[in-house]
Amino acid sequence: MGYLETTQSVYKDAALTPDIGLCCTTTPIWQFPGLSIPTKMQEMNYGCGSTVHPRDLVNNPKILYVGVGGGMELLQFSYFSRQKEGVIGVDIVEEMLEACQANFEEAEQQNGWFQKEFVRLEKGDALQLPVADSSIDVAAQNCLFNIFKQDELKQALKEMYRVLKPNGRLVMSDPICEQPMNAALRDDERLRALCLSGSIPLNDYLKMLTDVGFGTLEIRAKRPYRILDSKHYPTDETIYIESVEVCAIKDPMPEDGPCIFTGKAAIYFGEEAFFDDEKGHILLQNQPLSICDKTAAALALLNRTDLFISPSTHHYDGGGCC
């Protein structure tokens, strides 16, 4: 049995018997007016963050969600796309699709606005999505792609890029790890399926996105996730794993490279009313302006004593300029 087959087996079991805490963090569940999330959906929340951001979801977008779990985020997405098949959920595990559909039956009873026809469930593979080219406004996956090894991860990202419309958004939540892991951890198929041993460094994760062609990246959150210690896992050192939420936008790639927003800001505190770098960035007196890392590096090269550039907060929530 290969690691992908092991993963399917793990999530087949998790579909038949909800495994509370299988992957989830203590991230609060988004609550919206008039939205009631069935208990079983919450118990089957096998994500490591959130991919539902209201500012992505204007004008009744067409949404794709890969790896359906119990359907919680599909329900949250349909809150913003109340149309027949406004949300498409794809999963390779038949039992997970069946459990998800059953949860929608209960969600329909608890939410007067929701109709199960808002979501179309499809059996399919993240490596070969059953979705047309350039047909999706927002694509999302939560704690799935970190399971893939490099070649499969590259293919999964290419598939997401393919189905997105121009300027469409891929919203992802995945574990990351800056420390190297030994072969015993990396080759443990069950640990990989449990979203523990497939984690890669953040910069490697971002590069795979830009290599596919995404011109703009936003890091929206980064938080503690898990510890792998020598008492419970085959490792001599304590390994710290975080989870990250990233939005990759299908913008044209700038000639000077991608715009990656990691939560940096520039503040001008000179004698003039504003500072203009003559490259499209105007900083008002003592007002922070969100900037991408590329712009931050260019401003730092000016060596100005009246310009402060903050470190990355890994929490970018829009605004600013690039």
pLDDT tens, 233-242?
999 999 999 9
Average pLDDT for residues 103-111, to the nearest whole number? 97
Euclidean distance between CA atoms 189 and 7, whole angstroms: 8
- The rounded mean pLDDT for the chain is 94
DSSP-derived 3-state class of residue 276:
strand
List C-alpha distances in Å: 74 to 166, 172, 186, 196, 235.
23, 14, 31, 24, 37
Contact residues for 315 (Cβ-Cβ < 8 A; gap 6+)? 219, 220, 221, 222, 263
C-alpha 158, offset from chain centre: 15
Helix (H) or strand (E) holding 278: none
64 close to 51: Cβ distance less than 8 angstroms: no
155 close to 123: Cβ distance less than 8 angstroms: no
Residue 25 scores a pLDDT above 60: no
Q: What is the pLDDT of residue 317?
A: 87
Per-residue pLDDT band for 1 (boundaries 50, 70, 90) equals low
pTM: 0.95
DSSP-derived 3-state class of residue 309:
strand
Kindly report the CATH class assigned to 3-249.
alpha beta
Residue 230 scores a pLDDT above 70: yes
Could you report the per-residue pLDDT of 171-180, keeping only the tens digit for each?
Answer: 999 999 999 9
Contact residues for 262 (Cβ-Cβ < 8 A; gap 6+)? 219, 293, 312, 313, 314, 316
Residue 23 scores a pLDDT above 70: no
E-state strands within the chain: 63-66, 87-91, 119-123, 136-142, 164-176, 216-228, 239-249, 259-261, 264-268, 274-276, 282-284, 289-291, 307-309
Residue 135 scores a pLDDT above 70: yes
Average pLDDT for residues 186-213, to the nearest whole number? 96
Reported residue count of the chain is 322
**Which tokens is 71 given?**
């359907």
Long-range contacts of residues 277-280, Cβ cutoff 8 Å, at least 24 apart: 277/302, 280/321
**Which tokens is 265 given?**
């800001």
Could you report the per-residue pLDDT of 261-281, keeping only the tens digit for each?
Answer: 999 999 999 999 999 999 889
Per-residue pLDDT band for 17 (boundaries 50, 70, 90) equals confident
Per-residue pLDDT band for 306 (boundaries 50, 70, 90) equals very high
**Which tokens is 194 given?**
């449990």
Torsion-angle region of residue 153: left (phi > 0), alpha (psi -120 to 50) or beta? alpha
Could you report the per-residue pLDDT of 45-96, keeping only the tens digit for each?
Answer: 888 999 999 999 999 999 999 999 999 999 999 999 999 999 999 999 999 9
Residue 24 scores a pLDDT above 80: no
Domain boundaries, the chain: 3-249, 262-309
- Cβ-count burial 5-32 (b if 16+ within 10 Å, e if not): ebbbebbeebbeebbeebbbbebeeeee
Residue 166 scores a pLDDT above 60: yes
Q: What is the pLDDT of residue 30?
A: 75
